[in-house]
C-alpha cells in the first residue's frame, strides 16, 4: 500500500471517490507540517469522507509534526462527515504518539490491520503527487508551530509543562514579527 520510494522528506497526496490518501515520507518535521496541513485541509474542503494518513515511510517525527497531526485529529474527531485515520503505524511512530498522548485522540492501525470497510487504496497510491506549497513566512511557520504545541497541551496537560519554553519562545517570536 505504500508509494514508490521517494527522494527526501515530503508529503504526497491523492484524492478519489471522497477518499484522500496522504503519505508521510521520511522524517516528518516542522518543515513538512505546512504541507501536511495543506493536504488535510484541501481534503476537507474537497468533501473527502475519509482522510487516510499512511505512515509506512515515516521514519521519525518532531513535536511540531505530531501536533499538526493532533490538530487534524481534534478538528475531525466529532465530525459526522469526515473520518481521519492513520495506517501503517510502525512501533517507533506508535511510541512517539503514545509518548505525547496523541494516541488517545487518533485511531491508528498497524501494517497488519486496516480500518473496517476501507476499500482498496491502490488507485490512490498510483496517483500520489507531492504537496508543493509556497515557502511559509516566518510568522506563519511560528504560528503553525505554536498551534501544534498548544494542541499537544490540550491532548495531555503534561505536555504544557513539557513544551512551556517552546511556547514562550514562539509567543515572543510571533510578537517580534
Name residue 108's beta-bridge partners.
86
What is residue 1's predicted lDDT score, i.e. its pLDDT? 53
The per-residue pLDDT for 30 is 96
The burial class, CB within 10 Å (0-12 / 13-18 / 19+), for 22 is: buried
Helices (H), 46-163: 63-76, 91-100, 122-126, 138-155, 157-162
The total number of structural domains in the chain stands at 1
What is residue 36's predicted lDDT score, i.e. its pLDDT?
98
142: in domain: no
Residue 144 belongs to some domain of the structure: no
- Look up the domain containing 116 and give its range: 10-132
The CATH code of the domain that includes 69 is 3.30.750.24
> Does the residue 119 lie in any domain?
yes
pLDDT tens, per residue, the chain with 177 residues: 554 544 689 999 999 888 999 999 999 999 999 999 999 999 999 999 999 999 999 999 999 999 999 999 988 888 888 899 999 999 999 999 999 999 999 988 887 787 777 777 888 899 999 999 999 999 999 999 999 999 999 999 999 999 999 999 999 988 887
**Are β-strands 19-28 and 10-16 bridged in parallel, bridged antiparallel, or unpaired?**
antiparallel
Q: Can you give the pLDDT at residue 162?
A: 95
Neighbours of 97 (CB within 10 A): 24
What is the pTM assigned to this prediction? 0.90
Q: Rounded to whole angstroms, how far apart are CA atoms 165 and 17? A: 44
Q: Is residue 84 part of a domain?
A: yes
DSSP H helical ranges for 3-89: 33-45, 63-76
Q: How many CB atoms lie within 10 A of CB 12?
A: 23
Amino acid at each position: 500500500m505504500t508509494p514508490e520510494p521517494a527522494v527526501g522528506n515530503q508529503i504526497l497526496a491523492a484524492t478519489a471517490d471522497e477518499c484522500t490518501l496522504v503519505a508521510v515520507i521520511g522524517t516528518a518535521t516542522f518543515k513538512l507540517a505546512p504541507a501536511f496541513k495543506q493536504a488535510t485541509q484541501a481534503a476537507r474542503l474537497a468533501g473527502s469522507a475519509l482522510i487516510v494518513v499512511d505512515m509506512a515511510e515515516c521514519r521519525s517525527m518532531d513535536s511540531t509534526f505530531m501536533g499538526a497531526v493532533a490538530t487534524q485529529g481534534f478538528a475531525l474527531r466529532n465530525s459526522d462527515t469526515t473520518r481521519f485515520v492513520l495506517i501503517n503505524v510502525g512501533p517507533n511512530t506508535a511510541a512517539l504518539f503514545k509518548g505525547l498522548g496523541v494516541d488517545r485522540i487518533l485511531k491508528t492501525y498497524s501494517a497488519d490491520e486496516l480500518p473496517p470497510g476501507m476499500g482498496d487504496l491502490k488507485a490512490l497510491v498510483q496517483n500520489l503527487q507531492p504537496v508543493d506549497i509556497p515557502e511559509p513566512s516566518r510568522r506563519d511557520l511560528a504560528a503553525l508551530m505554536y498551534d501544534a504545541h498548544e494542541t499537544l497541551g490540550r491532548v495531555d496537560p503534561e505536555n504544557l509543562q513539557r513544551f512551556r519554553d517552546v511556547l514562550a519562545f514562539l509567543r515572543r517570536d510571533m510578537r517580534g514579527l
